[in-house]
Amino acid sequence: MHHWCEIADNSYQTTDELDIIKSTASDVVNDMPATGAVIIDLGAANSRKFVPYVQAFIEQGKPCIYVALDLCKESLTNHVKKSAANFPQITCIGLWGNFIQCDKYFATLPNPRIFLSLGSIFFNAPRPDMVFVITVCAFRHAAYQTKAYDAFFTSYLQGIQTHADIDANSTIAWTYESKLDNSMHYFEVVAQHDMVCHHYDDFLVKKGTVYTMFPSWKRGESEVHEITKAQGLNIKTLGKAPNSGMRQYLIQPHI
């Protein structure tokens, strides 16, 4: 996980998204009622992207509740304690579990609610009282060709080998390459020699076997608007990062 945190802390996706949020959070909160809202941070980790929204609620004199969800109890506990200390004006709640476990709890929270999430997993069943702030970035290969990504993949593949009981040097047993198929970005991981999974009935991974890992959509502004409108939804571009193709959108059902 520390390798992934290093990627997140230094990635343009992290810094650019936060820059956009800082410039648009006040407008988003301005549309919230005087009674306030609930901020639900899905997979909070050590993310700070909730901060501009909380600051905007405080500045506008509107109450808010911050609910952080995470699988790692230690990380979640530290995050909630730090958040509560930094913002004593609001209520901070920690939910230890996964999306399925906490889904019933989400339904008990009052509207309106602001979901902060990596992706748009809750947009599959939109309701008229829901508004989504979604960040989508365009693509550039250079962002994935770093020492941090190399360290992450080496550690990740070694973890897979340990789990499957594969006896191989993870630094040379695999190659990985950043790929783009239309708007879908993914990593192509290729086995460089035969490997045996002793924990899985000696399943053989043959040399040249190709695996697709970490697929994600990378779309430009016009494509995002086209797809959204085709589904009968309203969309507005909130802002764009100055140094990349990352943009933030406000999406909601027709009312």
pTM: 0.64
Answer yes or no: are the C-beta atoms of 232 and 214 closer than 8 Å: no
Flag the least confident range among 27-31, 122-126, 130-134, 208-212: 122-126
- CATH second-level architecture of 2-138+219-253? 3-Layer(aba) Sandwich (3.40)
Strands (E), 43-173: 64-70, 91-96, 113-116, 132-136
H/E stretch holding 251 reads: strand 247-253
Answer yes or no: are the C-beta atoms of 102 and 69 closer than 8 Å: yes
Would you call 116 helix, strand, or coil by DSSP?
strand
**Within its chain, how far is the Cα of 103 from the centroid?**
18
pLDDT beyond 70 at 144: no
Residue that wins the pLDDT comparison between 162 and 41: 162
Over the stretch 46-73, which tens digit does the pLDDT of each residue have? 788 899 999 999 999 999 999 999 888 9
Domain(s) labelled CATH 3.40.50.150 in the chain stretch across: 2-138+219-253
Flag the least confident range among 86-95, 99-108, 138-147, 221-230: 138-147
